[in-house]
Amino acid sequence: MHLAYPVVLAALLFSVGVYGVLARRNAVLVLMSVELMLNAVNLNLVAFDAWLRDALHAGQALTLFTITVAAAEIGLGLAIVLLLFRARGTADIDRATALGDPAEPHTPAEEQPVAAEALKGRATA
């Protein structure tokens, strides 16, 4: 088998993963896209290991290490997403950027009242 087939497949998987990270707003879908990118890297590692006929099988060993790191990453990532969902009621990444009190509703900057007037009142008091 030619080396080009798994490399092209890995490039396609990686491209879909990058698109998912950049275009999605749901944290779970972003984590799934990161996993796609890691699987593309794993596919390249195994393909080059088979193509080079490495006696130590370093590509396969690195793939096992990458799978272990990916499992730990997805476990921690899902725990963070669940805490975010419990606190905010949504897994939207745009809403997660405001790290203030979860009891306060999130409003974009253009909808917030002018804070300069409020700060002037505090400074004089």
Kindly list the domain boundaries of the chain, sorted by start residue: 4-101
Alpha-carbon distances of 50 from 14, 66, 70, rounded to whole Å: 20, 17, 22
What is the chain's alpha carbon radius of gyration, rounded to the nearest angstrom? 22
The whole-number pLDDT of residue 4 equals 96
Burial 63-87 (b: 16+ CB within 10 A, else e): beeeeeebeeeeeebeeebeebeee
Q: Return the SS3 of 26.
A: strand
**Per-residue pLDDT tens for 31-78?**
999 999 999 999 999 999 999 998 889 999 999 999 999 999 999 999
Q: How confident is the model at residue 115 (pLDDT cuts 50, 70, 90)?
A: low
What is this structure's pTM? 0.73
- Topology, domain 4-101: Helix Hairpins (1.10.287)
Query: What is the DSSP code (8-state) at residue 111?
Result: G
What's the helix, strand, coil split of the chain in %, to 5? 75, 0, 25
The whole-number pLDDT of residue 113 equals 54
